[in-house]
Amino acid sequence: MAGHSDGPETTDSLSGDAQLEQVLTIGSDLFDYVSKFADGFIRPWNIYQLGIALGLFVLAHLLRAALGPRIRAWMAARENWPKWRIRILVVINQRLRAIFFVALIWLTIFVMREVTWNSRSYLLSIIGTLAFAWLAVAFATRLIKSPLLRKTVRYGAWAYVSLRILGLLAPTERLLDGAGFTIGEMRFSLLLLVQSLVILGVLISLARLFTATTANRVRANPDISPSMQVLIIKGLQVAIYSAAFYFGVQALGIDLTGLAVLSGAIGVGLGFGLQKVVSNLVSGVIILLDKSIKPGDVISLGETFGWINALGARYVSVVTRDGKEYLIPNEDLITGQVVNWSHSNDFVRLDISFGTSYTDNPHEVRKIAIAAAQSVDRVLTSRPTVCHIVGFGDSSVDYILRFWITDPTGGLTNIRGNVFLALWDAFAENNISIPFPQREVRVLDNEQVNFEINQ
């Protein structure tokens, strides 16, 4: 690799001016090589081959314009096909022109080799090889989901393949390797930077593909609890991405022991600056291990009430009834008071308070209130609904009605409202009145006011 090639050993022993002169010499040789390669294009047969390639490209463009709508219509009719097949068809449809061009140019090369000298199709062979390599790279990089990483790997692979096919790879490597500097026994150059982007990009993409496949299998296993599924998936992601980074660095020939002191100093600084981040990460692991909350649980934290949508490494996603999604740090769930409405079971008891007139029989009021609550759909009949007198108020007899539900994700305010409506209808049907405070306002004239003041 770049850190162990002959180029760095030669360059390390040179001074700064000599190193710059060597880079300029390599650049000049590379320019001369490219110039000689370009001079060959002015030969008659090479010009003919360029014209043939251009004509085939135009023909491929016309074929895509003619057959593209038909292929898209045929794809639209394949509604019952699996999604992975549809994705492959979409990728093929996006590269129709390149596919037609590669097929046409290699068919032309085969015909020309049969009817004339191979030298007269030499330039077409280079163009066909480049087109096929670019098409293969474009298809391969579709596996990378990150747009930035996909473009980086794609353009890097295109540049590498093109230079290798054109025979410019070796002088380009020497030129990139000459532009760099040395720290201790390690040499850092543009060549090492390019290799790092390509190798780490490929390894991270493979790690992401592997973790996605493994995560789907873990989620599909009904024997693993939701919290353990999240813990296993997060552990696999950390392990696989760490392994990808480690093997990528080893493949580049970078000696990590030489950076131990620097990495230690950076680690201490990051430790002080990222205390909250580390605290949230550790809290997330604790939450997953003790199974205090899991995806789907209904929780209350302060004024936030909703169900857990996802458990992240740094936060918990809680979705409320009004569609808002709160990202609550894991540390708040560990240190704060959290009400988990479905921790050990799904049963939730709700209370509502009301009052009736002193003229109404409290025994009848209790029976009517219980029957009204049990008439609501979400109220459980398997668990008893009770109604108790809790006090004698200034203008009413005060009651509390308690009932049970098993679906807190459906909301609590709406079920309370439905029970209140059922009470209203039942009280109206049985002539039970709901009193309200009444106040009498008396207006005094001036004589009465003066008399009372004098008294």
pLDDT, tens digit (0-9, with 9 covering 90-100), for 191-222: 667 777 777 777 777 787 788 888 888 777 77
Residue entry with tokens 């690799």: 1
Q: Output the pLDDT for position 273.
A: 59
The 10s digit of each residue's pLDDT in 10-62 is 444 444 555 556 555 655 655 565 565 555 555 666 677 778 888 888 888 88
CA distance 454 to 103: 115
The pair of three-digit structure tokens given for residue 164, joined into one six-digit string:
């290798």
The pair of three-digit structure tokens given for residue 146, joined into one six-digit string:
């990150």
Residues shown for the chain: 455
pTM of the shown model: 0.41
Can you say whether the dihedral through the CA atoms of 244, 245, 251, 252 is positive or negative?
A: positive
CA distance 53 to 449: 111
Three-state DSSP at 212 gives helix
The 10s digit of each residue's pLDDT in 112-123 is 877 777 666 777
pLDDT: which is higher, 5 or 437: 437
Three-state DSSP at 183 gives strand
Q: Output the pLDDT for position 14.
A: 45
pLDDT: which is higher, 66 or 163: 66
Instruction: With cut-offs at 50, 70 and 90, classify the pLDDT of residue 294.
Output: confident
CA distance 165 to 324: 55
Tell me the β-bridge partners of 183.
186
The 10s digit of each residue's pLDDT in 378-416 is 898 888 899 999 999 888 899 999 999 887 777 788 889
The 10s digit of each residue's pLDDT in 82-128 is 776 777 777 777 788 888 888 888 888 888 877 777 666 777 787 88
CB 400 within 8 A of CB 362: no
